[in-house]
Amino acid sequence: LENPDPTSGNALEQLPKVLLLTWAFEFVRADASWSAVVGVEVFTAVVALAALAAHQWWWTWIPALPQRGLRGPSTPPARVSGRVIVIAIDGCRADRLREAHTPFLDRLRAEGADFTNVSTVYPARTVTAFASMLTGAPPEVHGMRSNFVPQLGVRCESVFDVLRARGMKGVLVGIAHLIDAFGERDVRTVTAVMDNDAIDGALVARAKRVLEEEDPELLVLQLLSVDQAGHSRGSYREEYLRQIEVTDRTIEDFVTWCREGGYLDDATILVTSDHGQGIGIGGHGHMSPPEITVPCIWWGAGVPWTPASDELRFITEIAPTIAGLLGCPEPAAIVGRAMLPAATRATHVTSPGPVVFVLPARNEAPRLPGVLAAIERSGVEGRVTVVVDDGSTDGTRRVAEAAGATVVRHEHSRGLGAALRTGLAAARDLRPRAVVYLDADGEYDATETAALLAPIERREADYVIGSRFLGEPQGMTRARRVANAIFSALLSLCAGRWTTDGQSGFRAFSGRAADVAEIVHDYNYAQVLTLDLLHKGMRMAEVPITYRKRSAGASFITVEYLWRVPLGMAREMLKG
């Protein structure tokens, strides 16, 4: 259903709920026994499991946010903007904005940078989205998961904090529930209890007072009438379109006032939204297609004219862009990168980016030289090798460094999942075109990397698993074959597509897949990572590879694998 807002009166969602509850109560009333109660509970459990499987198999509506790298704070770019003014049209659908007659915003688009594929976060709620926009962090980090929050204040650094540390000021002008996220020090409010025709005028008047009395380097102005029109009439109605056109004139009048008052000198303007709207009345809160995409138009100082970009970006990337334009460090918990060249930190990344080999290793000094030599023979151009030393007590680090690999070390063993998570974070810092994960024990042949990368290079897949069972596994015991078959079948059931080798230690990621991959469990990674990437819409493929059982040394895998893997898969399914 496209309108999944639980606060709405939309019949598409509410009627099925009412009918199911009515049936359950009538079923129990007609047969007032424990068996009837148990029957309802069993039915509920079956529906819940079916819904869980259906979402994992077919629907990937939660945005796949980029993940963080390993690099710490870097030197900010030179300041290019005297002031940043963010105008957030609450609840404005990007597609309906393009349909509307908006000559002023069209002019900003024509003279600035228009990003046409910018995604909000989940859930698509005002407080949640504003918190991500101004901290650069996902909701699970900043803690604002709804408009009704259990505790006040974002749990991470915001762009307001970054500015304050540099002796600058940022102010958000909006309605009162934004105080829940940022507090009274950074938010100036007006009441939302007024006629929809008056609310934006009141917000603009408050913003003008803030500029005159406080002169902040950052002003964020929330405009509410478009969202209210969507809630009261629906975003497919003509009234919603007309309200967007009224808002265009409101923005033009405000920008004209800023120019006449000198507040636009060397300033940058961003026009965006926190979320879109779905079908019907009150249509936002989940992630139907028109809720996901928001407008994002940059104009002014530090914004070169560029053709409209349809590259997938996120509202979490607004905070680092604002910080960069004002010459400040990025907020600490940002995911993604600045959207404008002038706001981007200097990097030393080659184009189109390297292929990064990630090798988790623990006490693999005798076998590591052979694996590194095979990588050199792989013929992959622009390769970089990152060895994650997971608390080794032998010469693993020394051997890796002698071969020219970059080494990231865990002082104590943290597990295979943690080692790969560290390796992927290190790879992201290099902005790779692809990442190859390879066990360091010599069981896999790195010279077969080209076959692993081929589906990615042909743009047929984002995530490729090297399957031992499509190839020739040499020396694998019968018990291990059976265990692999069981876990691969379990993964196939959870993922809704057949996988022959869910446990392979030879995998490849496109740059996009590496950017969004999450490994949340320190011990296990394989099945959980596959579920994570499939749920985020990444395309998976398998290719045959050869396999040779390791001749010596201890594997990361122990008997704990038998119970930790199913638990990890269950947690990943529930998280999704």
Check if the beta carbon of residue 327 is closer than 8 Å to that of residue 77.
yes
Where residue 331 falls (left for φ over 0; alpha for ψ -120 to 50; beta otherwise) is beta
Nearest to 107 by CA among 226, 310, 248: 248
Largest CA distance in the chain: 80
496 vs 504: CA distance, rounded Å: 19
Q: What confidence score (pLDDT) does residue 552 get? A: 57
Q: What confidence score (pLDDT) does residue 72 get? A: 56
- Which residues lie closer than 8 Å to 83 by C-beta, 6 or more apart? 216, 217, 218, 219, 263, 264, 265, 266, 267, 268
Nearest to 527 by CA among 493, 480, 479: 493
216 vs 255: CA distance, rounded Å: 16
- Which residues lie closer than 8 Å to 558 by C-beta, 6 or more apart? none
User: What are the tokens at 64?
Assistant: 């796949």
Burial degree of 121 (CB within 10 A; 0-12, 13-18, 19+): buried
Q: What confidence score (pLDDT) does residue 11 get? A: 60
pLDDT one digit per residue (tens) for the chain, 576 residues = 444 454 544 566 677 778 888 988 888 888 888 888 898 899 889 988 887 777 777 766 567 788 777 665 567 889 999 999 999 999 999 999 999 999 999 999 999 999 999 999 988 899 999 999 999 999 988 999 888 877 889 999 999 999 999 999 999 999 988 999 999 999 999 987 888 899 999 999 999 999 999 999 999 999 999 999 988 888 888 999 999 999 999 999 999 999 999 999 999 999 999 999 876 665 677 667 788 899 999 999 999 988 999 999 999 999 999 999 999 999 988 888 899 998 776 544 445 789 999 999 999 999 999 999 999 999 999 999 999 999 999 999 999 999 999 999 999 999 888 999 999 999 998 989 999 999 998 899 999 999 999 999 998 999 999 999 997 777 777 888 888 888 889 888 888 888 999 889 999 999 989 988 888 777 767 888 898 888 888 889 999 999 887 665 555 455 555 556 666 666 665 665
Q: What confidence score (pLDDT) does residue 242 get? A: 96
204 vs 173: CA distance, rounded Å: 8
Report all structural domains of the chain as residue ranges with CATH numbers, in order of start.
Answer: 11-58 (no CATH), 84-338 (3.40.720.10), 355-575 (3.90.550.10)
Q: What confidence score (pLDDT) does residue 572 get? A: 61
442 vs 370: CA distance, rounded Å: 7
**Tokens 């704990």, located at residue:** 560
Helices 478-495, 34-58: crossing angle, 10 deg rounding: 100
Q: What confidence score (pLDDT) does residue 534 get? A: 86
In order of 31, 232, 283, 509, the CA distances from 17 in angstroms are 22, 22, 17, 41
Q: What confidence score (pLDDT) does residue 54 get? A: 77
Q: What confidence score (pLDDT) does residue 347 get? A: 47
